[in-house]
């Protein structure tokens, strides 16, 4: 009798979303993770890089190297992948508005390494629609942005046939409150908008292969059964769209190919060790069903609600994947859920809901035309989700139930997170200055002129972008050309001035707002602002949404404002309270500047409240500087925050 091992499927790609401080430090992290068994790279870029600013731009202050790695020119990209052969690596770059530029830098480095560019494998996320809806790193208006997405796709069709030119990203839609049906519909509508535009840029015979190169990046939340069914619904709906809308006959080009990061939104600051179980359960939703299994998985670390994970924390999440793939027998079997009536019924219900939402979007003219509608729906859905947590209808362990817990030994002496040295920013700026001085200025000017001509004429911008990368242009210069040609865009906030129908239970707060407004002599005015480049606007939107429903006069202009613009608005609108939301770690320098400007503008008496992912020691420093209240993710009771704002606006409180 022979004991032969059963055949096993090849595991998915193991990735860790990583990058911080500098290209050199991120390179060391990548090489260490690869040595530990990671099989692909997932690059996190800092916010200036994502939004098209060089590290020394006014809006980049405090943001450099915080949520990812700064890449301002070819030298940075060269350092980022030093010693990593790109023709043997599968690299995912989470980049959208500047995706053509970062891909150009990647191509230039690959050529310097002597790689066969046609062999490069990887993905640029390149999904601007979800940026307008949820993440906020867009630059240009929707139509020219869509053209840039399809420029990348058409270029890769010829030069990088193994590259995924777009990752339709529903991940942030769920983070912004999307229901499963909305997540399905909004993502699929985005893919349709891209493919409809791409049809005119590639030969008809090559179009099916390009449909096969479109990939997706999804979110897996804690509702395990629903998430598993959502992924099966995604695969079936995508197959349906590819056949009926585009006539794709080859099954391999209709395959729903996706990567996943499980839900970071559901990670809790309270009892953070519980997040390990959440991450594991969410991973199972995208791996157990073979017919809807992710092609690549990246897991957050248990402490991401606290701050930047340490290398050990990332290793722990990687080991979770490896144990499932190699120690269990999961990959030895076919699909475990085929024929299950419960699963089948839930999948059909999700598909029906998604089809109805898709029909609504089609009637509006598709995803690009329906951006305002989708944004408003997300804000409403998120308000419902948060309301259920606030009332206890949705139980979150350690947050609204079973709050008593032992101190976590995992936090250690460093607070359980890694901090970025503030000196990193000046170091990065110094190297950027040196790069500018050393390059051939005339060659850069000529390359940027060619890029401007291509963009103005509606030609594919990729050849000129690659040439600009090789000439030594910077991220800010590339994006500056796009801004000059296409203009900038301010996306919808999703928060209308009219109250919603969600005022039940708010009567005591509304009465308090009325009483304070009478004392003030006019309606209590609350200005909500997002300084810097952080585009995670969900929290700010929900605060504004609830404050409006509580009867306050709301001033919320959306994301990406300078401290000067926020203070100017506070003066103009005579704000009684100012609230800032910052989740990127740049709170200390940005809030210090806002406080200085408020004092100079005669607003030193106006209370300033701050919300974000803020460590305890930073919160203490902010309070010492004069901030009235600091809120972190553990402060989920919005009604309590509303009463705090009312109390701060009380004339006697302001005078005190």
**What's the CA gap between 272 and 382, in Å, rounded?**
23
**What's the CA gap between 261 and 14, in Å, rounded?**
11
Contact 562, 531 (CB under 8 A): yes
Which pair of structure tokens corresponds to residue 523?
A: 């309606």
Burial class (CB in 10 A: 0-12, 13-18, 19+), 202: middle
Nearest to 630 by CA among 646, 614, 648: 614
3-state secondary structure 93-125: EECCCCHHHHHHHHHHHHHHCCCCHHHCEEEEC
17 belongs to the catalytic site: yes
| Greatest Cα-to-Cα distance within the chain, rounded to the nearest angstrom | 91
Contact 337, 217 (CB under 8 A): no
Which pair of structure tokens corresponds to residue 535?
A: 């585009």
**What's the CA gap between 23 and 79, in Å, rounded?**
6
Nearest to 56 by CA among 474, 460, 643, 615: 474
Q: Positive or negative, the Cα torsion across 186, 191, 195, 201?
A: positive
Contact 157, 180 (CB under 8 A): no
Question: Among 25, 172, 351, 576, which one carries the catalytic annotation?
Answer: 172
Question: Among 17, 30, 138, 489, which one carries the catalytic annotation?
Answer: 17
**What's the CA gap between 646 and 643, in Å, rounded?**
5
Helix and strand counts by DSSP (H, E) for the chain: 25, 15
Q: Strand pairing partners for 578?
A: 527, 608
Residue 205's alpha-carbon distances to 209, 211, 301, in angstroms, are: 8, 11, 44
**What's the CA gap between 382 and 519, in Å, rounded?**
33
Contact 584, 576 (CB under 8 A): no
User: Scanning the structure block, which residue is given the tokens 């995912």?
Assistant: 92
Cα 56 from chain centre: 23
Which pair of structure tokens corresponds to residue 72?
A: 């301002």
Q: Strand pairing partners for 260?
A: 218, 297
Question: Among 138, 171, 489, 556, which one carries the catalytic annotation?
Answer: 171
Burial class (CB in 10 A: 0-12, 13-18, 19+), 372: middle
**What's the CA gap between 183 and 219, in Å, rounded?**
9
Question: Among 73, 351, 486, 536, which one carries the catalytic annotation?
Answer: 536
Question: Among 530, 556, 587, 618, which one carries the catalytic annotation?
Answer: 530
Nearest to 308 by CA among 44, 610, 42, 635: 44
Q: Is 290 left (phi over 0), alpha (psi -120 to 50) or beta?
A: alpha
Strand spans (E) along 263-368? 296-298
534 belongs to the catalytic site: yes
530 belongs to the catalytic site: yes
Question: Among 151, 534, 549, 618, which one carries the catalytic annotation?
Answer: 534
**What's the CA gap between 483 and 86, in Å, rounded?**
31
β-pairing, 13-15 vs 17-18, is unpaired
Strand spans (E) along 486-617? 525-529, 553-556, 577-582, 608-612
Active site residues: 17, 171-172, 530, 534, 536
């Amino acid at each position: 009798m022979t004991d032969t091992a059963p055949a096993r499927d090849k595991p998915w790609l193991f990735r860790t979303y990583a990058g911080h401080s500098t290209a050199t430090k991120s390179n060391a992290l990548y090489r260490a993770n690869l040595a530990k068994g990671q099989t692909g790279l997932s690059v996190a870029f800092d916010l200036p890089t994502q939004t098209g600013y060089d590290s020394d731009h006014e809006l980049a202050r405090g943001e450099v190297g915080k949520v990812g790695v700064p890449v301002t020119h070819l030298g940075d990209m060269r350092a980022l992948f030093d010693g990593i052969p790109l023709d043997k690596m599968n690299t995912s770059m989470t980049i959208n508005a500047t995706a053509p530029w970062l891909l150009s830098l990647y191509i230039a480095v690959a050529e310097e390494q002597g790689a066969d560019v046609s062999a490069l494998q990887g993905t640029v996320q390149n999904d601007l629609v979800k940026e307008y809806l949820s993440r906020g790193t867009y630059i240009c208006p929707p139509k020219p942005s869509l053209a840039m997405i399809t420029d990348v796709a058409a270029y890769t069709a010829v030069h990088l046939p193994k590259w995924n030119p777009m990752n339709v990203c529903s991940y942030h839609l769920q983070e912004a409150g999307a229901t499963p049906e909305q997540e399905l519909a909004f993502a699929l509508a985005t893919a349709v908008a891209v493919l409809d535009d791409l049809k005119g840029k590639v030969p008809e015979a090559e179009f099916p292969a390009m449909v096969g190169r479109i990939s997706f990046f999804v979110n897996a939340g804690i509702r395990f059964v629903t998430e598993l069914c959502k992924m099966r619904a995604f695969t079936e709906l995508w197959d349906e769209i590819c056949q009926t809308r585009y006539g794709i006959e080859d099954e391999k080009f209709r395959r729903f190919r996706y990567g996943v990061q499980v839900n970071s939104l559901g990670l809790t600051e309270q009892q953070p060790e519980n997040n390990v179980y959440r991450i594991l359960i969410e991973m199972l939703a995208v791996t157990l069903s073979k017919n809807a299994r992710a092609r690549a998985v990246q897991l957050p670390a248990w402490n991401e609600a606290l701050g930047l994970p340490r290398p050990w924390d990332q290793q722990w999440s990687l080991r979770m994947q490896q144990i499932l793939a190699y120690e269990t027998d999961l990959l030895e079997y076919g699909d475990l859920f085929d024929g299950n009536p419960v699963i089948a019924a839930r999948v059909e219900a999700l598909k029906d809901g998604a089809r109805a939402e898709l029909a609504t979007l089609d009637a509006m003219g598709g995803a690009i035309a329906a951006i305002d509608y989708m944004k408003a729906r997300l804000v409403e859905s998120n308000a419902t989700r948060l309301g259920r947590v606030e009332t206890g209808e949705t139980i979150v362990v350690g947050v609204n139930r079973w709050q008593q817990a032992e101190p976590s030994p995992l936090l250690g002496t460093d607070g359980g997170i890694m901090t970025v040295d503030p000196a990193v920013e000046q170091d990065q700026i110094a190297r950027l200055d040196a790069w500018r001085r050393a390059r051939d200025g005339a060659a850069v000017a000529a390359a940027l002129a060619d890029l401007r001509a291509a963009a103005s004429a509606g030609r594919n911008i990729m050849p000129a972008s690659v040439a600009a990368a090789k000439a030594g242009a910077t991220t800010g210069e590339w994006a500056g050309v796009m801004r000059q040609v296409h203009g900038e865009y301010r996306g919808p906030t999703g928060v209308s001035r009219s109250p919603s129908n969600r005022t039940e239970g708010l009567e005591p707060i509304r009465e308090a707002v009325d009483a304070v407004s009478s004392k003030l002599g006019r309606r209590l005015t609350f200005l909500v602002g997002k300084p810097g480049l952080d585009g995670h606007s969900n929290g700010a939107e929900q605060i504004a949404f609830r404050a409006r429903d509580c009867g306050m006069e709301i001033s919320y202009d959306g994301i990406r404002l300078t401290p000067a613009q926020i203070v100017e608005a506070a003066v103009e609108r005579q704000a009684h309270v100012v609230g800032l939301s910052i989740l990127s770690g740049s709170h200390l320098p940005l809030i210090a500047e806002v406080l200085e400007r408020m004092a100079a503008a005669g607003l030193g008496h106006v209370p300033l409240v701050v919300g974000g992912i803020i460590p305890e020691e930073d919160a203490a420093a902010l309070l010492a500087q004069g901030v009235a209240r600091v809120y972190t993710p553990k402060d989920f009771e919005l009604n309590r925050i509303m009463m705090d704002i009312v109390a701060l606006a009380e004339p006697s409180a302001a005078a005190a």
